[in-house]
Structure 1
């Protein structure tokens, strides 16, 4: 049986394509210049969404997310197909990567992107919307149509056309005042013919059908636009005048980033993006997510070879969350915005160096995150060699990617790769360096020739022949050569400070902050390299270019301050005019020497205790023997005490053997 359906929106709002300009004229990010789509931000979101007679379909995205970049053409096509439906539904997008929009995305629980929420007419602030997403424009449009049909079925909003099935007669339809009447003939049977459009205009009837492979909605919409707009007939809805295109902007040709080095600014940007945008986008952080946050911060404090102010801030953040079972993203955001004297703060995002893409949507944050992960695995391996015990950072990396990395598609890929390749079977930093290197190359292979690939920085197997000639043997990577390359490439001494925005350096007359930013991590990283005589404080790497006088004075002050900080000297003596020079101390040798002395003191103490106990037991035995007699049971206490002393002596011997090995290792490290 055939039923008559009124075509819902093609007739209702022809020519409403310029509606986006009434909300916001700002065209930015992935949808810059898309006139069919409304781009919202923190200043326009609630004004556009709340208490409106029409529905909204809003995409939440982050411009650096590769999956969002793939989804952008789909959402643009959805906006194009629905551009004339403004009386019923409008299509919009908001960029959650912009910090000013972070609170809105957190309010709506956007943890993974891209995400699509459908909001009905008259939406309120407490309305979370309906989540849905499809990766085909037709399916996404169908989901929007189903949503507005459901809303219409509950209660027809004011100003909406009647979308219910037409049950009257053909004569009743033709008696209407409209100059053009249209019917969609659709069968309830799935085996019936495809839908047909019947248009009645000026006493004439025209039937339109969609061919094989054509979308009926698009075919019907195109036919109606032609019929209604032809010849300027009365009743045709005027279309908006095309907007005058803005004058073309002259942009410089993209250049290739210097990928032959690791830059501190790229890793600092990744940390700032992770903490200020990714972590704070969560409404509540508790349970597994809190454990992942602590692990991520602890990994950075222990193994990130960063500037001391950055390590101080990371240490304070770790203290802030360490004793809490729950923290909100808003609390973290307020803490990082605080202006207290003890809070060193986090730097603002700065221009990328090696991770700079040929376009803003390429590389950037994800590249900086990979660089950060490689660097901490190398630093963990060096720590492992120095301490002589196994350490690994892969669980902390996995915890961050699983719980906070908002590109949901990328996070799921990493978790599957971790399960398949045995991430949690890696128990030492040596294997962790290899695991992460193989995982990164696996991702590069999967994304090669992808639409998200930067044409100036193709996804290749790293390192290539140009970067490390000895790493490629017979067309394959040599593991030992690769390990040596990774250790040298991501080592703390090889990281370049170019492009870093300097933190305020205290003058000679100012006091040094009281809170030490994880001093052991600072000493391990050798942070004085940033202020050594081979580099200027402003980050320039050209030693032949002499600094300006004021820059030279600032450099000398920074050198004095950081030498005093890292080598235990107080700046007070320097401010009082003391002539005592600052002496550079080998911290590793001094620490190992102190540890050897402490070990021997402990061994002597344990051996002395065992001997005292044995002598006491023997004295008790002999005293009981001669005074009470050999038949008295009290005589047995002496041998028991003597046996305890013997056990303590045996344990001390075992401790001596183990400590001797530690001392040998300390001597080797100190001499090396």
Structure 2
């Protein structure tokens, strides 16, 4: 019984810790009025429901997503009373387990918001929101229009009517249409599209004590109220049951939050408690203690695990976000992979990985996300998994789970690529750094980096660059360095900045004093520093998320031997494959044309006779050697022992 109790407690602790870790990865908490969705609950929560959903697909490492999170929280709080009709949700695509659902919904940039209609059945029912998600004043109105359009097509019986009132309506007839519990009659005069009125109808949909009516400026009732000037619309009139004149009349154009507040004030004044959640009173702020990770400047080294983790994320997450890669996106992908084939940092198997993907891409004009993932997995398996399948950040590990990580790893990878290109191409007079390095980086960031705003800003920066000044390999190193410092300056003190690792101009004087003088950077010294810094790849491991054996291991130079000869290695292996020998690292000897490991014997094949002849010769030689050994074994061992005694 004791054993079973301890096991049960252990399971509970494991589940609790797993929940805590998951929450830390999210940009939102349960107090944010945002439904947190993932691969385990998405279908159950969103599909076949009697309400719509407005869902943000984001990545917790994405700077634009981090910056947008406070505004999305405000929006969710603003429309929390809308939940019976539409609920606000979020999916963290940076969480590995959610990769499939984010690909399924074709999320190729962050943040992306989708509207899922009433009684959605599948991914096809999700509509990408194309409005201005950063404008808090109009975002709820955009959502109200999506809801109204949804109602127009499906007419959910439990939703309010979004139609205009009858032209002949009077205050008395409208009171008769209101339910017996109605104590307030809200008349809103608004031209089409009546988004303010639609927002109010959604907000008070489940509060039977408020009856909201939409009037056209051409209606007789609107004319009697003097609401005929289009520039003054929408106008609002609030009636209390039993009173002939309106309690409140707006003198000019009014917003939907102002109308909501006037109605709420009147409900409070008459001592009526709202049945729906308050739309104006924010819930108490709950102070959360968030576990942080101790960060140290000693971790700022170029780590192989950061590079391989970034490369793995690119191959398995960034690229397959597009359901079908073709056209300019395919051209960009080919440029990127071809560059990695030549200049990717790391071991020979890593370079061979990109060589094989590059060869495969050169033979196709389009590829689906499923085909891409299958190919990457296949090549990874054949080469013994040169890229680890679990991402581990060491120098790029942030003080919080959603800070730094992949974005840091990507920058490190790009810098290392420029330095590797310099190492290989510095004496090549025909090398064009703008074409061979900068353009592949540009196209990848613009078309595949899932932080949409970041990709656009990078694209605009590159478009303004004088590429004629980037010719030598050293030029690409310095261009990327200047670009990174520009980004650091812009993002300093932003919400996406890790407070434990503040953005600064790199390299600081503390690690490269000769790089600075009174006028700023000494670029010749900066170049020398960058070449040395990004060539010094450390192979520290991580244990329990902490740095292990810090500053003790460097990238073994033996791993680099042969990296420049990957083409010849792959060509040699292809030649062996044609001779029915598989020379991959796992040594799986099989005929590549056969379905099974053993090909049926073919007596007409001359190769079988050749192999049989040499096997016979080897067996005979072994037999003769063994017989001689038996005759002379006593003499042999005496000689052996005497020789060793003499040595001692």
TM-score, structure 2 as length reference: 0.68
Distance 1:232 1:111 in 2: 50
CA distance 1:302–1:340, shift in 2 (3 Å): closer
Relative to structure 1, the CA distance from residue 475 to residue 349 in structure 2 (aligned partners, 3 Å threshold; closer, same or farther) is: farther
Q: 1:138-181 CA deviation, whole Å, 9 max, x = no partner?
A: 21111001111223334522210122223322112223312323
**Aligned pairs (5 A) from 1:180-195:** 180-188=183-191, 189-192=229-232, 195=235
Matches within 5 A, 1:147-226: 147-167=146-166, 168-175=169-176, 176=178, 177-188=180-191, 189-192=229-232, 195-201=235-241, 207-208=247-248, 216-226=255-265
Give runs of aligned pairs for residues 162-561 of structure 1, distance below 5 A: 162-167=161-166, 168-175=169-176, 176=178, 177-188=180-191, 189-192=229-232, 195-201=235-241, 207-208=247-248, 216-228=255-267, 233=272, 237=275, 249=289, 251-252=291-292, 254-258=294-298, 260-338=300-378, 342-345=382-385, 346-387=387-428, 389-392=430-433, 393-423=437-467, 426-491=470-535, 494-499=536-541, 541-542=551-552
Give 1:253 shift.
6.2
Match of 1:104 in 2: 101
Cα gap change, 1:245 to 1:437, in 2 (>3 Å):
closer
**How many equivalent pairs are there?**
493
Aligned mates of 1:136, 1:210 — CA distance in 2: 25
Query: Would the alpha carbon gap of residues 444 and 243 (structure 1) be closer, same or farther in structure 2, given more than 3 Å must change?
Result: closer
Partner of 2:139: 140
In 2, Cα distance between the equivalents of 1:425 and 1:567? 30
Say which SS state the counterpart of residue 396 (structure 2) adopts.
coil
Query: Residue 62 of structure 1 is aligned with which of 59, 64, 77?
Result: 59
Distance across 2 between alignment mates of 1:257 and 1:197: 62
State whether structure 2 residue 82 is matched by structure 1 residue 44.
no
CA shift for structure 1 position 244: 11
Between 336-345 and 127-136, report the one with greater CA deviation.
336-345
| Pair 339,498 (structure 1): closer, same or farther in 2 beyond 3 Å | same
- Report the secondary structure of 2:361's partner residue: helix
Please say if residues 37 and 79 of structure 1, whose CA atoms lie closer than 8 Å, have aligned partners that are also in contact.
Answer: yes
Q: 8 Å contact 1:402–1:415 — kept in the other structure?
A: yes
CA RMSD of aligned residues (A): 3.7
Change (3 A) 1:184 1:266: farther
Q: Deviations over 1:533-567 (max 9, x none)?
A: xxxxx866448xxxxxxxxxxxxxx9999999999
Matched position secondary structure for 2:332:
helix
Q: Deviations over 1:548-588 (max 9, x none)?
A: xxxxxxxxxx99999999999xxxxxxxxxxxxxxxxxxxx
Q: Aligned equivalents of 1:211 and 1:31: distance in 2?
A: 40
**1:347 deviation in Å?**
0.8
Runs of 5+ consecutive residues of structure 1 not aligned to the other structure: 1-23, 502-537, 544-557, 569-672
Deviations 1:228-287 (A, max 9, x none): 467775x952659x9999995562564334354211122112111111110111101123
Contact 2:348 2:559 in 1 (8 A): no
Residues 257 and 357 in structure 1, CA contact (< 8 A), matched pair in contact too: no
Q: SS where residue 81 of structure 2 aligns?
A: coil
Task: Identify unmatched segments of 5+ residues in structure 2.
Answer: 1-18, 192-228, 567-648
Give the distance between the partners of 1:567 and 1:52, measured in 2 at CA: 58
> How far has the Cα of 1:402 moved from its partner?
1.7
Q: Does the C-alpha gap of structure 1 residues 446 and 39 become closer, same or farther in structure 2, counting only changes over 3 Å?
A: same
Per-residue Cα deviation, 1:406-459 (whole angstroms, up to 9, x for no partner): 111111111111110134762331211111111111112222222222223222
C-alpha distance in 1 between matches for 2:311 and 2:143: 38
Render the CA deviation track for 1:603-635: whole Å, top value 9, x for unaligned: xxxxxxxxxxxxxxxxxxxxxxxxxxxxxxxxx
Q: 1:561 to 1:304 in 2, by over 3 A?
A: closer
When residues 329 and 341 of structure 1 are mapped into structure 2, their CA distance, relative to the original with a 3 A threshold, is: closer
1:82 positional shift: 1.4
CA contact (8 A) 1:60 1:95 kept: yes
Q: Offset of 1:203 from its aligned partner?
A: 5.2
- Change in CA separation of 1:265 and 1:206 when aligned onto 2, cut-off 3 Å: farther
Residues 561, 475 of structure 1: alpha-carbon distance in 2 compared, 3 angstrom cutoff: closer
| In structure 1, distance between residues paired with 2:442 and 2:375 | 25
What is the rounded CA distance, in whole Å, between the counterparts of 2:401 and 2:161 in structure 1? Answer: 45
Moved more, 77-86 or 350-359: 350-359
Residues 259 and 354 in structure 1, CA contact (< 8 A), matched pair in contact too: yes
Distance 2:374 2:131 in 1: 33
Residue 444 and residue 74 in structure 1: after superposition, are their counterparts in 2 closer, same or farther (change >3 A)?
A: same
1:400 Cα deviation after fit: 1.0
CA distance in 2 between partners of 1:111 and 1:564 (Å): 36
Any conservation in 2 of the 1:263–1:497 contact (CA below 8 Å)?
Answer: yes
Contact 1:498/1:540 (<8 A) preserved: yes
Residue pair 2:112, 2:128 contacting (<8 A) in 1 also? no
Q: Are the structure 2 counterparts of residues 334 and 149 from structure 1 closer, same or farther at C-alpha, using a change threshold of 3 Å?
A: same
Partner deviation per Cα, 1:380-427 (whole Å, 9 max, x = no partner): 111113555425311221121122111111111111111101347623
Matched residues in 1 for 2:562 and 2:379: separation? Answer: 26
Report the alpha carbon displacement of residue 367 of structure 1 after superposing the two structures with TM: 1.3
- Counterpart secondary structure, 1:191: helix
Does structure 2 retain, via aligned residues, the 8 Å contact 1:266–1:352?
A: yes
Give matches, 1:11-90, under 5 Å. Answer: 29-90=26-87
Partner of 2:601: none
Distance 1:323 1:344 in 2: 24
Work out the CA distance in 2 between the residues paired with 1:406 and 1:559.
34
Q: Quick one: structure 1 residues 190 and 246, their matched pair in 2 at CA, closer, same or farther if it must change by over 3 Å?
A: closer
- For the residues of structure 1 that align with 2:71 and 2:515, how far apart are their CA atoms? 42
Aligned-partner Cα distance in 2 for 1:130–1:567: 47
Q: Could you tell me how far apart the structure 1 residues matched to 2:489 and 2:561 are?
A: 45
Cα contact 2:353–2:379 (8 A) shared by 1: no
Q: Is 2:240–2:247's contact at 8 Å kept on the other side of the alignment?
A: no
Residue 296 of structure 1, CA deviation: 1.9
State the Cα deviation string for residues 17-63 of structure 1 (Å, max 9, x = none): xxxxxxx9985511123441112112222233323332221112111
Cα 1:374–1:56 shift into 2, 3 Å: same
